[in-house]
């Protein structure tokens, strides 16, 4: 699955955009950090019998 890099870049550039979309006070954006954590998916492998 690909990451949503477009949204990440938008929210990183326009800090208050996410809070405007959520209807939250824009002042909360000052203390919020946008980070991109990489999460690995569990791998399924066939084991030999």
What single-letter DSSP state applies at residue 15?
T
Single pTM value for the model:
0.51
How many Å apart are CA 31 and CA 47, to the nearest integer? 48
Instruction: Tell me what pLDDT residue 3 has.
Output: 60
Calculate what percentage of the chain has a pLDDT beyond 70: 86
Taking alpha carbons only, the member of 39, 38, 20 closest to residue 29 is 20
Give me the pLDDT at residue 1, please: 39
Segment 5-44, tens digit of pLDDT? 788 788 888 888 888 988 989 888 888 877 777 777 777 6
Given this model, what pLDDT does residue 13 score? 86
pLDDT score at 9: 83
């Amino acid at each position: 699955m690909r990451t949503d890099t477009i949204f990440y870049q938008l929210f990183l550039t326009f800090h208050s955009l996410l809070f405007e979309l959520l209807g939250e006070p824009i002042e909360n954006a000052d203390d919020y950090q946008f980070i991109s954590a990489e999460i690995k998916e569990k791998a399924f492998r066939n084991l030999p019998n």
